[in-house]
Amino acid sequence: MDWGMKNRLARVIKPKTGRGVMLAVDHGYFLGPTYRLEEPRRTIGPLLAYADSIMLTRGVLRTSVDADTDTPIVLRVSGGTSIVGRALSDEGITTPMKEAIRLNAAAVALSIFVGTEHEHQTLLNLSQTVSEGEEYGMPVLAVTAVGKELEKRDARYLSLACRIAAELGAHIVKTYYCEGFEKVAGSCPVPVVVAGGPKLDTEMDALQLTYNAVQAGAVGVDMGRNIWQSDFPVAMLRAIRLIVHENGNARQAHELFLSLKQQGK
The residues binding ligand 5RP (CB under 6 A) are 24, 26-27, 55, 111, 143, 145, 195-197, 222-226
Rounded to a whole number of angstroms, the minimum distance from the CB of residue 263 to ligand 5RP is: 25
Chain length of the chain: 265
**How far is 241 from 195, CA to CA, in rounded Å?**
14
Rounded to a whole number of angstroms, the minimum distance from the CB of residue 178 to ligand 5RP is: 13
Number of Cβ atoms within 10 Å of the Cβ of 154: 13
Rounded to a whole number of angstroms, the minimum distance from the CB of residue 222 to ligand 5RP is: 6
Closer CB to ligand 5RP, 218 or 259, in the complex: 218
Strand runs labelled E in 102-171: 107-112, 140-144
Closer CB to ligand 5RP, 133 or 224, in the complex: 224
The answer to whether 77 touches 95, Cβ cutoff 8 Å, is yes
Q: How far apart are the first and last CA of the chain?
A: 41
Residue nearest ligand 5RP, CB atom distance: 224
For residue 83, the one-letter residue type is I
Beta-ladder partners of 193: 174, 220
Q: CA-CA distances (angstroms) from residue 66 to 74, 222, 260?
A: 15, 21, 26
**How far is 111 from 123, CA to CA, in rounded Å?**
9
Rounded to a whole number of angstroms, the minimum distance from the CB of residue 254 to ligand 5RP is: 18
228-240 burial string, b = 16+ CB within 10 Å, else e? bbbebbbbbbbbb
The question of whether 16 is a catalytic residue gets the answer: no
Closer CB to ligand 5RP, 77 or 242, in the complex: 77
Closer CB to ligand 5RP, 241 or 264, in the complex: 241
Point out the catalytic residue in the list 98, 148, 152, 174.
174
At residue 122, the 3 state secondary structure works out as helix
Rounded to a whole number of angstroms, the minimum distance from the CB of residue 27 to ligand 5RP is: 6
Backbone angles phi and psi of 107, in degrees to 5: -165, 160
Closer CB to ligand 5RP, 68 or 231, in the complex: 231
- Please give the positions annotated as active site: 174
